[in-house]
Structure 1
Amino acid sequence: MDVIEAGPAYVAVLARLHAAAFPDDPWDERSFAALLGQPGVVCFVDERGGFLLLRVVLDEAEILSVGVTVPRQGIGGALMRQAIRAAGWRGVKTIHLEVAAENAAARALYAALGFTQTGLRKAYYPNGGDALTLCLGLAD
């Protein structure tokens, strides 16, 4: 399987992946160490080039970040499906995320997975771009 759960030993890998996926706003190793030290935060790495951070609080979860360094290889989908499974195993009923309104590829993936738009955050990103808030209800 290409997707693995990644703990604190992966902070250097995560920082490199994040820098490759988000060169304009990379997170450093300390940022990942701090996130992974928080209760309920789970990280997945796709060995082909991607990561996903998920935070679980009671019966809700939030996708904190998804980064893919090799486009159109199914990495984002594999990471999302693993996060959805892991959230279900942890008793999550609803998963939330934010996505840039102009990110058509991510929006298509999330729609295919069953996410629906719940809101709009105008000028949410540093570049002035809008964010859409999405959620997915998980079956019992």
Structure 2
Amino acid sequence: MTGGAERGLMPAVLRQMTVDDLPAVMEIERSTFPFDAWTEGMMRGELADQPRTRHYLVAEADGRIVGYAGLAVAADQADVQTIAVDERYRRRGIGAALLEALLAEAARRGATAVFLEVRADNAPAQAMYERFGFERIGLRRRYYHDGTDAITMVKRLDEREGRWP
């Protein structure tokens, strides 16, 4: 699976994340979320629930991991746990490819809605989510460790066709 190639952007290959990917993933995690980075133990816990309730992907380009994303699914609800792209590879369609893959997996697992939180000061991420049809449904004040608010968003999935619109 590739992302962005149709628009002339650098393609990224997406594949399931494994424990062996954690050193590269944690490097991106710490640089992307300096105040709220997950620990390696937290990420290992997420991977331990894969594929039962979790679905984690990495994006590879230029022979290295340049992004990752994770999804949690329970019954008919899914949550985007995380999406991050190495800052040197942003604005190339990699984040969108990761999100598209998470939405497809949520639909495959029978979810009818996908939820997420996004930093109120992260306008590029908010714009990407809105392009994919996510709607703002609330605000979690001082959600992040540095005091930044989180915007909660939801995307309803198309139940009739078993896919996201």
Normalising by the residue count of structure 2, what TM-score does the alignment of the two structures yield?
0.79
| Distance in structure 2 (CA, Å) of the matches to 1:135 and 1:80 | 13
Map 1:14-93 onto structure 2 (within 5 A).
14-38=25-49, 39-48=52-61, 49-69=66-86, 70-93=89-112
Rg comparison, structure with higher value: 2
**Cα distance, 1:12 vs structure 2:** 2.7
The aligned amino acid for 2:153 is L
Contact 2:36 2:144 in 1 (8 A): no
Deviation of the 1:4 alpha carbon: 1.1
Q: How many residues align?
A: 140
CA distance in 2, matches of 1:40, 1:17: 23
1:82 partner SS? helix
Percentage of identical aligned residues: 32
Q: What's the CA shift for 1:8?
A: 3.2
Distance in 1 between the 2:30 and 2:22 partners? 12
Separation in 2, partners of 1:121, 1:50: 26
Q: Return 51-60 or 6-15, whichever deviates more.
A: 6-15
**Aligned CA-pair RMSD:** 1.5
Please tell me whether residue 101 in structure 1 is matched to residue 101 in structure 2: no
Residue 88 of structure 1: how far off its partner (Å):
0.7
Alpha-carbon offset, residue 71 of structure 1: 1.4
Partner AA of 2:29 in structure 1: H
**Distance in 2 between the 1:7 and 1:52 partners?**
12
Structure 2 residue ranges without an equivalent (≥5): 2-12, 160-165
Question: 1:135 aligned to 2:148?
Answer: no
Secondary structure at the aligned position of 1:109 is classed as helix
Q: Give the 3-state SS of the residue equivalent to 1:47 in structure 2.
A: strand
* Paired residues of 2:81 and 2:116 also in contact (CA < 8 A): yes
